[in-house]
Structure 1
Amino acid sequence: MDVFNVVDGDGNKIRDKGVINYITKKLESDASFMPSMRRTVGVMPFEHHTPIELCGTDRPGLLFEVCVVLANLHYNVVNAEIWTHNARAAVVVHFTDDSTGCAIEDPNRLSKIKELLCNVLKGNNDLKTTKMTLSPPRFTYRERRLHQIMFADRDYQRVERAELGKDKSSRPHVTVLDCIEKDYTVITMRSKDRPKLLFDTVCTLIDMQYVVFHGVVHTGRMEA
């Protein structure tokens, strides 16, 4: 069971029964698990589209250039998302054949796509740290996959090197305590707040082969 405490945009409890009924109806209709993952948020079956992942140096217009290349080849971009951090970028794009609406399976066409998109990434003169794949895991949440790409790129290490000479008090403070009576470990972290902080924290623990039972985040004006 997942329990969420929800407030409106002003931080007030939701009391409008129409809104509550709408939320309930949407959650009940969208709730789906394996093997019916087609309606799961952020997950799409790969037989209906071609997925591509890119990782390289960030620059203005990178996602736009990727989509232009695909559009010029008469492919339809179903969805695309880019994460950037420390001058690095991770991109996930799902696209189909514009004429058939299906995934592209022809090896020659896929090779052409890879060649042209590699040329886009070469614009940064950064071939050593550029990565691209046309065959990511079969079922993955898009944001989860973007986190994995950035983590594999070790983008966080650039921050560690940059902050070696800075005041350590500004760095995140992490404590780890064993809760013997409940047979689990409690991790407490204080850091500067930012978007997706809790998401990244949970993903990192999972990547380290830990099982997360629950997590809570409290945020102030600048701190979490």
Structure 2
Amino acid sequence: MHVHFIQHVHFETPGYLLEWATAQQHTISYTKIFEGDPFPAADNIDLLIIMGGPMGVYEEDKYAWLATEKAFIKEVIAAGKKVLGICLGAQLIAEVSGAKVYPNAQKEIGWWPIRKIINEKTLPLTETLPDEFITFHWHGDTFDLPAGAVHLFATSICPNQGFLLNEQVAGLQFHMEATPSLVQQMAKYGQEELVTAPYIQTAGQMQELSARYAAAQQKQLLDFINRFLTL
């Protein structure tokens, strides 16, 4: 399988997703926005994975490339390819699918619990995941669910944390791909956001909790993506 990553900033790498793709011996390619890379032909990829970033989907006046990326994501979806969006990636998918993206009431940064929505539509994808688990978050925006999307995950302060669209496209607001080193990099380059707030942990807390939760999260990511690809 040919897996193509869109990476928006140098410090938000694919993390465990890259380890998974490498272990499966998939062909891997990148569009690194921060290096000005072009987008490939949609027909040449099997799975598009869109990573996160500190920008908002509504900031096209500040980041002109957003319009081009949105058009590419639409093209890949229309071509029937599997698409997975993480954080900003999920927000981009939501917007190109007709949903609104906007600032959440509070930022959610650090290792926080998330619960899965359980019903007959979600179980084929999330049945092997715990009903509630600790995962890594770094987001200030949220999205409405696209029309027809299956609601997958929620937290107390951000109800729309994940969705599945037509068994082909998935968006996750949180970061199951986060390795301890990725958490460290995000804390380093996003330290201005680490203010005192109810759902924002310190860099030290995040590193301590990475040692506790990252290994379990890696297994949860593998469970999720393997089921997603077989839908």
Shorter-chain TM-score tier: under 0.3
More strand by share: 2
Larger radius of gyration: 1
TM-score using structure 2 length = 0.23
